[in-house]
Amino acid sequence: STPVFVRLRAFEYLGICGEEVAERLVSLLYESTSNAEAAMILNTIVFLRDGGFSGSVNNLRIDPSQIKVDEPLVQRRLEYLGFVEIK
């Protein structure tokens, strides 16, 4: 299987090129068991959304209960994206 970081960079490139990648990024996030991977995936989503490529993540739906890691940065990114309430 192709490493998560390689797939993440491929999806990021496709998103920059205007392809819809939200579903693939979320699947990758749910699959991730590494804090660093999950944080990088969410950082990529934020980059695409806020960096002028929001069309690539228009259909973004994240269920926080499906995320396997418990990392403060992941929680902050989910808060920033509006998928969990800020405590």
User: What b/e sequence results for 29-65 when a residue is b if at least 16 CB atoms lie within 10 Å of its CB, and e otherwise?
Assistant: beebeeeebbbbbbebbeebbeeebeebbeebebeee
DSSP string for 26-46 = HHHHHH---HHHHHHHHHHHH
pLDDT tens per residue, range 10-65:
999 999 999 999 999 999 999 999 999 999 999 999 999 999 998 999 889 999 99
**pLDDT value at residue 44:** 98
Residue 87 above 70 pLDDT? Answer: no
Q: Cβ neighbours of residue 52 under 8 Å, at least 6 residues apart?
A: none
**pLDDT value at residue 86:** 67
The predicted model scores a pTM of 0.93
